[in-house]
Amino acid sequence: MASVGKSLLLFLCLVSSIVFVTPDDIPDDWPPKDEKFKYEAEGLYAEDFDLEIGKGLKTFERNLDDVFTCRLSYEIPKGETETWRFTLNTAADKSSYSCFAERPGPTNSELNFKQFKMSLIGVNEINYGEAYGEPSVSLPAEEYMVDKRKMEVLSLDGFKGHLSRLLAVARPHSVHEEL
């Protein structure tokens, strides 16, 4: 019975600390429509960007630690603009780098991609690469491949156009020291 009383007291303390915000308290220009999410920290970079729709191949790329670059190339012939998130990070010991390009949030991408390619620059080996049609369901093997020689995750001729997430993990070039 004492634990119920403590739980009730904790619940009441939490409820009393909640700040209620009414629509009148929120500025008309919030959240800023022209500002995208962007976050930088040691070994981490994340940014939201709008996929460009239209003719031809489009490219979006970012760099981390002046060592690792991740480039997303894609073609989307038509559709409505979607915001995607690009995230690069490194292990604490700099033993690996990773790159994610994904539709953030709970909704799947509604776009029909013609092709895609994630290229990794500044690494010498891709340890893992994956492409997802739905956020937690990998594309079938006949729709994409991981090219370890070229350091790429890319669509194949059998790609059906649905993509929600791409990711790759790789080892950086090792520093050679003279003995």
Sequence-ordered list of residues with C-beta below 8 angstroms from that of 80, at least 6 positions apart, any chain: 53, 110, 111
For residues 89 and 135, the answer to whether their CB atoms sit within 8 Å is no
Alpha carbon distance 114, 97 (integer Å):
27
Domains of the chain in start order, with CATH, are 28-172 (2.60.220)
pLDDT in tens, the chain (179 residues): 454 444 443 333 333 333 434 445 555 554 556 678 999 999 999 999 999 999 899 999 999 988 999 999 999 999 999 999 999 999 999 999 999 999 988 778 899 999 999 999 999 999 999 999 988 899 999 999 999 999 999 999 999 999 999 999 999 876 544 55
Contacts of 38 (CB under 8 A, 6+ apart): 46, 47, 48
Q: How far apart are CA 174 and CA 71, in angstroms?
A: 21
